[in-house]
Structure 1
């Protein structure tokens, strides 16, 4: 999970929490068998998703103390597809989401429109890639319980990276980007019969504080910034295609909220609404862009 925010002035913040799901009692099932079932579904997902395009409407809203908007919300329209990229830590290609900006705030995109600080990056990791064979051993999977999602009985699995890695904090002008591998925990809702993933949640494990370089501090401003909490949810839905007839389980939406302290905003909301799926017939290819380390 990666966070980006515009550093403007000092404001307070409040904590938020994630909603629980139904817990499982005695007799936990075989987690490895469930994860293998999810892996098979994810591998099928990628074999078909590489031939699909979609439109993504992204809305970025930042709020200050008292839930006041800081400026106008930003609305962006992207064309999105999944492609294979050269892996950073493995010899195997890895799936990434590629975005091409089409519109910015209701008008055709121009070169200067992309990217602003909180905008999605052109390439990002695909969340289900953790279930592919090249990545699975990097994660620990635990049984959490049973629940219902999208009208289906689901197995709920929690995951985390096996080890913490050093955080990456990058400044570019007034924008700070924070990457915290191993500092998040995720939860997956998978269809109990098919292994199809219907929902993925991820949250920051705890508050993270980092120093603000002297050259980035405002006079009299704090020496540190804090990410108090961060949560995200990706939901999937079935999409029907014709010629040939086929139904695929594809992402439908993503929502995230991050709470900051000592930053330009206290809360940052980002939503992705995914629609207008269409299919094209070409071969998948390996692209030169690398996944961010």
Structure 2
């Protein structure tokens, strides 16, 4: 048998995400991007996150998104901006913790934000990409922990604390600036992050046929540490069951509304909306997850 070369932690995470139909990862590279690039025929300008803040990047790119979306309701626009800014980063962090017991090192001088020629945000990049992992050698994790870019931590509590501190330090200034510009509350904006951290552990478990309740518990564990570290939120998401009593499906309800129903009244409440009544939600979940797919939305205990 040919020996497998140990991987860098984030390379191992990318491999672990390969089977997933939805895995919105950021770009992960050793080198920062060039200032100007062309992607899909469009001109792209890159900013380091701390420079993006200093240059007024949040109000400028928010205004560009408002022009593109054609929506006037500020909370809905703010949540859409949060999605553009943080979807890939929250997936990277949540999937890393759940699938690989690793956490990318997030910071304002490693996060690079890209803006297209219309002024709208594109996929971010982490460069140079560094990570923390739990103690344990490459034999049992398939990861080379001797790499200089790898931080080795003693246990899960230490990993969660390390990741929480860096997420707050990296995302907090951007969220604070969005709050100042839109006057949408910090707890609402951070609510998007808390919701994504839960769903981005739950969804990989669903597609991999793993125990979704265990994935949810892991998300709750990290969310507790994140909240204790200073990230504010009004209400956290919750798990719900639906369908056949002897073989129930499992999904979740967000803690924070995305407000799309206010931006587009015909849209109505999302199936995961906290404002939707559970008796209305359950048949919608049964439709979204047919009984043949309950195995992808299940609990083993």
TM-score by length of 1: 0.27
TM-score by length of 2: 0.26
